[in-house]
Amino acid sequence: MKFEKVVLDNGLTIVGEINPNVHSVAFGFFVRTGARDETTGVSGVSHFLEHMVFKGTETRTAADVNRLFDEVGAKYNASTSEEITLYYAAILPEYFSETFALLADIMYPSLRDDDFNIEKNVILEEIGMYDDMPAFSAYEKLMESHFRGHPLSQSILGSVESIQALTADQMRQYHREHYLAGNITLAVAGNIEWSEVLDLVNQHCQHWPTGQTERDITEATPTGGTIVIPKSGTVQEHVAQMSPAPPSASPLRFAAEILSVIVGDDSNSRLYWELIEPGDAEAAELGYNDYDGSGAFMTFLSCRPEDTARLLAKIGELYDDINQNGVTEAELEQAKNKVASRIVLRSERPMGRLSALGSNWVYRKQYRSVEDDLNTLHQLTTDDIAEMLKQYPLGQQSTVAIGPLESL
């Protein structure tokens, strides 16, 4: 396995983890743009644009794009987050050339008015679908509330109003400003010759426009608060809570990640044994989200409405205990084994390595092998977790509840 890196004259960065011992290759264009980079006037445009990329180019129709991906048996898709829009494909090595040419081509789509108007209805339907999901709605509202006044407060989907008002010209302008070569990292993982990758990049990407957009990564300083949204027709109360956590570039992120497994994993965690196993809650989890310059611990609880206040108090007591007393050696060892297994199992497929390869470079300009991750994991101590908790204690600073209750 070998790591490679090249930067084209236009600013496009290419990173590769070449592994001749696997039977596939995965690659993706990581565009450093997402909801946090939008203005309120174009809220939701990054996600909308992700859809439009597959609607064709000057030389390919939408039908051509989908047919060509299917002809080579590619597993392909795209995703939009607060900070990255990712376009990726995983294929057999013999089909890398044509698949690369196709994905590189659609990165600069035609964005035709007719396609835009049709897809707008698809986006509006998607917003409606997620509005019917209390857990997702709680997350969206929590991000807006917890990060109020900060770019991370912006919705990935946008709103019905913002999407209805969005024009094709605004999208084309957004694409011109953000889909610059300096904003894009191409990551390649798997069984492929690096020389072939470079030949294809020079053929299909060196003409991409130069430039890079700036991003304010000032750490958020949330003030907290509680929002309760009554929703008729629901049976359970869905509660999402956030408190600050280490940002993506912080060395404390490893301790934060392992702590989230110890406290809030979906099995054999403290929240599991305290709330799930006794049958008090349907879901009780703690997750760690790291962003550019900021981070968040997110607690999620789903339970009977009448149990909500009691269980939130119980979570608060559990967090207070951890903040004061830390975690045990046994808990840390168990969590290390769980995370190590996940790292290794995920790494056995190029598609599993693609996300880590691209994200590490986009956020930290750093290559980390599987061995690097395992070594860092094994070196973590309870003292490391205690040190992280001094700066970022677990808490319930911001709360959003959706369900039958009118107050908590």
Task: Compute the average pLDDT of residues 363-390.
Answer: 97
Asked whether residue 234 falls in the same domain as residue 320, the answer is yes
pLDDT tens-digit profile of 273-284? 999 999 999 999
Q: What DSSP letter does each residue of 209-239 carry, written as one string?
A: PP-------PPP----EEEEEE-TT--SEEE
Q: How far apart are CA 384 and CA 379, in angstroms?
A: 9
For residue 214, which phi and psi values (nearest 5 degrees)? -90, 155
Residue-number span of the structural domain to which 166 is assigned:
2-204
Asked whether residue 232 falls in the same domain as residue 316, the answer is yes
Instruction: Give the strand pairing for 398-403 and 225-230.
Output: parallel
How many structural domains comprise the chain? 2
Q: Band of the pLDDT at 306, cuts 50, 70, 90?
A: very high
Strand segments, DSSP code E, in 36-166 are 75-80, 85-91
Q: Band of the pLDDT at 140, cuts 50, 70, 90?
A: very high
| Domain membership flag for residue 140 | yes
Amino acid identity of 11? G
Q: Which helix (H) or strand (E) holds 137?
A: helix 134-146
pLDDT attached to residue 230: 96
Query: What is the sign, positive or negative, of the torsion defined by CA atoms of 360, 365, 367, 373?
Result: negative
Q: Band of the pLDDT at 233, cuts 50, 70, 90?
A: confident
Amino acid identity of 178? H
Res. 189: pLDDT tops 90: yes
What's the chain's average pLDDT?
97
Asked whether residue 193 falls in the same domain as residue 269, the answer is no
Asked whether residue 236 falls in the same domain as residue 369, the answer is yes
Task: Count Cα neighbours of 361 within 13 Å in the Cβ-side half-sphere.
Answer: 29
Q: How far apart are CA 146 and CA 141, in angstroms?
A: 8
| Domain membership flag for residue 121 | yes
pTM: 0.96
pLDDT attached to residue 288: 98
* CATH number for position 28: 3.30.830.10
| Domain membership flag for residue 215 | no
